[in-house]
Each structure stands twice: as C-alpha cells, then as structure tokens.
C-alpha cells in the first residue's frame, strides 16, 4: 500500500513538473504556419538572454513608427555556437527579417531569416 502511494506521488510530481515546460513550448499554437515579410526597421533593444533571444525594432507603418518584438526559437547557448554574440545586434542597426506571425498578438514574430546592416545571421541549423 505504501509503495503504491509513493508511486502515485512520483507520477503526480512528474506530471506537474512537466506542465510548465509543455505550456512554454506550445509553439504550434503561438505562431502562424507561413513566414511573412520581409520587414525592415531600426533595432532599439537586443536581449541575448534565456529562455529565447529577442530584439525590438522600430518599423515605419503608415507614416508612424511601431514597435515590433521579434524572437528566436533558440537559446543564447545555441546561437553562440553558430556565431551570434551579445554584440550581434546593436541599437540603431538596420534589421530586415522574415518571421512567423504570432497568432493573437500583432507586431510579434518568430524570426525565420535576419539581416543586420545587410549581413545575414545564421538561423538554419
């Protein structure tokens, strides 16, 4: 009886422990199926941080500037292995991206391709 209770406790702990990971990595729900763009803007912020690297940029839309947030699928560790660094994007850099649009939030995307000042950064690995 004690062994069975312990087994249920371990199972419950495993399920509850995995729940935040499943919630965070529900990418099929968050992003559209087809890449759109490109869009071009000026970098205003670059966050080379966990869990996912992202940046913000100012994009001219209908005569006004809009703030866009673009994220990667990858962690800083993986991007660093492919040539990225904290200096890959700096405020003022010209950024051109194609992206998967967020399904509910406008001006948020997951980058598929990126050029910084005309130079491509690797994302296909």
Domain boundaries, the chain: 1-30, 31-120
Could you give the CA distance from residue 65 to residue 47 in angstroms, rounded to a whole number?
21
pTM over 0.85: no
**Predicted local distance difference test score (pLDDT) of residue 18:** 46
At the top level of CATH, the class of 31-120 is: mainly beta
Where are the strands (E) in the chain, listed by range? 36-47, 54-61, 64-71, 94-101, 108-116, 119-120
Residue found by looking up tokens 């001219």 in the block = 60
Residue range 13-31, pLDDT digits in tens: 554 554 444 445 555 579 9
Averaged pLDDT of the chain = 86
Q: Which pair of structure tokens corresponds to residue 91?
A: 């405020």
> Residue 107: is it exposed, middle or buried by C-beta count within 10 angstroms (0-12/13-18/19+)?
middle
């Amino acid at each position: 009886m004690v062994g069975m209770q312990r087994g249920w406790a371990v199972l419950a702990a495993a399920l509850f422990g995995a729940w935040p990971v499943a919630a965070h990595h529900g990418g099929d729900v968050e992003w559209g199926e087809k890449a759109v763009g490109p869009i071009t803007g000026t970098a205003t912020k670059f966050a080379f941080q966990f869990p996912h690297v992202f940046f913000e940029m100012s994009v001219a839309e209908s005569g006004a500037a809009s703030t866009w947030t673009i994220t990667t699928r990858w962690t800083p560790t993986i991007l660093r292995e492919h040539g990225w660094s904290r200096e890959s994007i700096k405020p003022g850099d010209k950024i051109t991206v194609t992206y998967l649009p967020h399904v509910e939030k406008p001006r948020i995307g997951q980058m598929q391709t990126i050029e910084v000042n005309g130079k491509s950064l690797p994302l296909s690995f």
